[in-house]
Chain A
Amino acid sequence: GESVGLHLPTLSVQEGDNSIINCAYSNSASDYFIWYKQESGKGPQFIIDIRSNMDKRQGQRVTVLLNKTVKHLSLQIAATQPGDSAVYFCAENMGPGGGNKLTFGTGTQLKVEL
């Protein structure tokens, strides 16, 4: 079946730099996208979400961009801190028609170097 496609790179950034994590999704029917952060030994933690009728949403130090034309999602983290080190997943939700279940990619490991 269709699923969020997220290859597993490791992204290393210097503390204070901006980070950009990318995700390609394949299901054009998805109407809700979410970024989760997962630290070792913990469950995924909600970061930010975006609906398909938007192309940008900002939170505290984070911005999510959605490009439906090329089915691409990105997470931007400003002024990356050591506490941002974790695995980041994008997930898509097809909404009630799809049972509200999330489809995840495999994740990107973010490493923040001091």
Chain B
Amino acid sequence: GAGVSQSPRYKVAKRGQDVALRCDPISGHVSLFWYQQALGQGPEFLTYFQNEAQLDKSGLPSDRFFAERPEGSVSTLKIQRTQQEDSAVYLCASSGSFQGNTDTQYFGPGTRLTVL
């Protein structure tokens, strides 16, 4: 079956540009997570949705980062006025967990963002 997909796979932006990264979770998965992975590091949590509700955005590094999931399926991570330190791989994960359960998170291939 189809896994988590992300687009674009690679994005090059000039400093100051806005970017939008898309995540298509596994069909029917309730929970969706965004992580940021710097080179040589483990992924770091950014934000979490349960259906369309953003329940935790404590990992977003600044107010330039914004995520949405308006219909409870596809999610978009938007970064405004990109800066060089935003260069990283952005990973999306989904799980079937409902509140009270802890299910495996399945990751997409990531979007590699390079800010020049």
Interface size on A, residues (CB 8 A): 28
A42 to B56, CA, bound (A): 25
Q: How large is the interface on B (under 10, 10 to 19, 20 to 34, 35 or more residues)?
A: 20 to 34
Stretch at the interface among B11-19, B69-77, B80-88, B107-115: B107-115
Q: Is the CB of B48 within 8 A of A43?
A: no
B residues at A contact (CB < 8 Å): 4, 31, 33, 35, 40-45, 48, 55-56, 58-59, 91, 93, 95, 97, 99-102, 104-110
A8 to B40, CA, bound (A): 9
A residues at B contact (CB < 8 Å): 4, 6, 8, 31-32, 34, 36, 41-46, 49, 89, 91, 93, 95-96, 99-107
Q: Is the CB of A101 within 8 A of B56?
A: yes
Could you show 5 A-B contacts with beta carbons less than 8 Å apart?
A: A34-B105, A41-B109, A42-B110, A45-B107, A101-B59
